[in-house]
Structure 1
Amino acid sequence: MCRNIRVLHNFAPPATTDEVDAAALQYVRKISGTTRPSAANQEAFDTAVRAVAEATQTLLDQLVTKAPPRDREEEAAKARERAAKRFGTAS
Structure 2
Amino acid sequence: MCRNIRVLHNFEPPATNDEIEAAAVQYVRKVSGTTRPSAANEEAFNEAVRAVAKATQTLLGDLVTKAPPRDRAVEAAKAKARAAERYGS
Q: What TM-score, normalized to structure 2?
A: 0.97
Structure-to-structure mapping, 1:2-41, within 5 angstroms:
2-41=2-41
Count of residue pairs the alignment pairs up:
89
What amino acid sits opposite 2:66 in the alignment?
K
Distance 1:50 1:86 in 2: 34
4+ residue runs over 4 A deviation: none
Structure-to-structure mapping, 1:1-91, within 5 angstroms:
1-89=1-89
What amino acid sits opposite 1:60 in the alignment?
L
Distance 1:88 1:38 in 2: 38
Which ranges in structure 1 are unaligned for 5 or more consecutive residues? none
Pairwise CA distance, 1:3: 4.0
What amino acid sits opposite 1:9 in the alignment?
H
**Structure showing the higher strand proportion among its residues:** 1
Question: Using a 3 Å threshold, how does the CA distance of structure 1 residues 64 and 2 change in structure 2: closer, same or farther?
Answer: closer
What amino acid sits opposite 1:84 in the alignment?
A
